[in-house]
């Protein structure tokens, strides 16, 4: 799952150049939600591995673009960007 997350973080810039940051974040959030819900139907080890890799890949998108979405949606100047990112990280991990 961590390797798929790393791959997801590496490929987000390429995909977001065509789709847009916010559109990619919304799509990856919906994909992660669908994968979590589909984990109810796990039946064997192969399905656990496939869903784990898929979730890791799409969660890499969510982790990578959290700060970009926060900065895009605020009216802070670029030299004061740390405050909204810190507030978002605090709210996300607490």
* 12 close to 64: Cβ distance less than 8 angstroms: yes
pLDDT at 74: 65
Count how many Cα atoms sit within 13 Å of the Cα of residue 35 in the half-sphere of its side chain: 19
Judge if pTM exceeds 0.75.
Answer: no
For residue 77, what are the domain limits? 2-93
Cα distance between residue 84 and residue 94, in whole Å:
15
Arithmetic mean of pLDDT, 28-49: 90
DSSP assignment, residue 79?
G
Asked if the model's pLDDT at residue 37 lies above 90, the reply is yes
The total number of structural domains that make up the chain: 1
* Higher local confidence (pLDDT), 33 or 62: 33
């Amino acid at each position: 799952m961590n390797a798929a997350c790393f791959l997801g973080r590496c490929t987000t810039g390429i995909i977001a150049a065509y789709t847009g940051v916010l559109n990619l974040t919304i799509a990856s959030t919906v994909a992660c939600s669908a994968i979590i819900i589909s984990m109810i139907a796990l039946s064997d080890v192969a399905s656990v591995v496939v869903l784990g890799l898929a979730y890791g890949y799409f969660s890499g998108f969510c982790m990578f673009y959290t700060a970009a979405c926060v900065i895009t949606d605020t009216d802070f100047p670029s030299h004061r960007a740390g405050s909204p990112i810190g507030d978002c990280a605090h709210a996300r991990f607490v």
